[in-house]
Amino acid sequence: MTVIPFYTSTREYAARKAEFDAAVQGVMARGDFILGSEVAELEKECAAYLGAKYAVGVASGSDALVLGADILGFRDGAEVLTPTFTFFASTSCVARLDGKPILVDQDPETLEMDLKDAERRMTKRTAGIIPVHLFNQATPMQRVMDLARKHGLKVLEDAAEAFGMDCQVDGRWKKAGTIAEIGIYSFFPTKTLGGYGDSGLMVTDDEELYRKIKSYRVHGSSVKYHHDYIGYNSRLDTMQAAILRVKLARVDEAIAARARLAARYAERLAAVPGLRFPKVAEGNRPVWYVFNILAPKRDELAAFLKEKGIGSSIYYPIPLHLQKCFAYLGHKKGDFPVAERTCAEILALPIFPELRDDEVDYVCDQVTAFYRG
């Protein structure tokens, strides 16, 4: 039977085994496991790739959000605008610091945060915005930064999914994640630049913020056992850094492979009745971290694909305003209609650089067969 995983790292590892093995063995030979030389090298290479002044490796994208929220003051009653349709960590970072997440609906076409809705929900207590660049494109950052300037807000860019994406701001193309005061990335294995375990990155152009981030990741100290802040233990593991450097060297090839596969999906699924696709807004050069469709009878389709050996995934089945832990925010079903509809229809199809064209064709044939009956 044909089996097409939603995601696998095993093909990549098999193809570049010698490089990955040498990288990991190098760390073991040196024994510099905590903030070793590979971490500093990865930080330099990421900063150069992204066009950011400073990059700091941390333990995960989720930790990066908590450190960023803490440093920017998104805590203790501060209201922070953040989408209801996103991964949990984009919002929990504020909630866990006793800040107040102000949830915002999404644009029905692009699925990014609806900035008109965001502006409507601003109050005197609004301190910041966490735009989340979802799936393949950035939240319109020109408008986010204009809003932030107009209302004196801080911005923490959740670019966990957005490594390599470009967007236009102030007439220039910039990497998503490098526009606001602080941007964060996740190196979760499925990501465009994904490790073989957890890790993440924070970037900034501001030297003072950079020093604070570096200090926060080691318990708020810049000199051992001298603590200026109550920080965290959140360091990017040296082994992961070594693996990520192998992958960063070819990340543009991986991005190009994803683009080719996405174009193949789009072309082959274009005529399937009832299917819709999120639109890429102008001012973006997308990176296809995920290929999503908006599918009628989504759960039946996913079950049908599973029967045919095809993996798929739902990002995200429940919007954050309907999560049990956020009941205290006082929302109910119907409050964010666009996000609720998206959660019922969205389905991610397999996409990773080593996926073959014939596998994409098989997936498309099965999706077509499902709808054509």
Ligand X SMILES: Cc1ncc(COP(=O)(O)O)c(C=O)c1O
Binding site for ligand X (CB under 6 A): 60-62, 86-87, 89-90, 132, 158, 160-161, 186, 188, 198, 200
Q: For ligand X, give the closer residue by CB, 140 or 360.
A: 140
For the chain, the residue count is 373
Q: From residue 252, how far is each of 165, 194, 291, 343 by CA, in Å?
A: 11, 13, 18, 31
Hey, how many other C-beta atoms are within 10 angstroms of the C-beta on 59? Answer: 20
Hey, how many other C-beta atoms are within 10 angstroms of the C-beta on 17? Answer: 10
Hey, how many other C-beta atoms are within 10 angstroms of the C-beta on 370? Answer: 18
Q: What share of the chain is helix, strand, coil (3-state, %, to 5)?
A: 40, 20, 40
Beta carbon of residue 207, minimum distance to ligand X (angstroms, whole number):
25
Q: For ligand X, give the closer residue by CB, 90 or 284.
A: 90
Number of C-alpha atoms within 13 angstroms, CB side, residue 322?
A: 16
Instruction: Read off the tokens for 234.
Output: 């959140």
Q: Are 27 and 37 in contact (CB under 8 A)?
A: no
Provide the residue type at 228 as one letter. D
Chain position whose Cβ is nearest to ligand X: 61
Q: For ligand X, give the closer residue by CB, 188 or 326.
A: 188
Beta carbon of residue 54, minimum distance to ligand X (angstroms, whole number):
19
Beta carbon of residue 200, minimum distance to ligand X (angstroms, whole number):
5
Q: Annotate 285-347 with DSSP letters as a single string.
A: E---S-EEEE-TTHHHHHHHHHHTTB--B-S-SS-GGGSGGGGGG---TTSSHHHHHHHHHEE
Q: For ligand X, give the closer residue by CB, 135 or 370.
A: 135
Q: For ligand X, give the closer residue by CB, 91 or 366.
A: 91
Q: For ligand X, give the closer residue by CB, 85 or 370.
A: 85
Beta carbon of residue 37, minimum distance to ligand X (angstroms, whole number):
23
The answer for residues whose C-beta is within 8 angstroms of residue 285's C-beta and 6 or more apart is 165, 166, 167, 173
What is the β-pairing status of strands 154-158 and 100-104?
Answer: unpaired
Backbone dihedral region for residue 250 (phi beyond 0: left; psi -120 to 50: alpha; all else: beta): alpha
d(CA 313, CA 290): 10
Q: For ligand X, give the closer residue by CB, 12 or 63.
A: 63
Beta carbon of residue 29, minimum distance to ligand X (angstroms, whole number):
28
Q: For ligand X, give the closer residue by CB, 92 or 126.
A: 92
Beta carbon of residue 52, minimum distance to ligand X (angstroms, whole number):
18
Beta carbon of residue 324, minimum distance to ligand X (angstroms, whole number):
20
Beta carbon of residue 288, minimum distance to ligand X (angstroms, whole number):
14
Residue spans of alpha helices (H) in 101-237: 115-120, 141-151, 207-216
Beta carbon of residue 62, minimum distance to ligand X (angstroms, whole number):
3
Report the candidate in 179, 191, 98 with the shortest Cα–Cα distance to residue 146.
Answer: 179
Q: For ligand X, give the closer residue by CB, 84 or 186.
A: 186
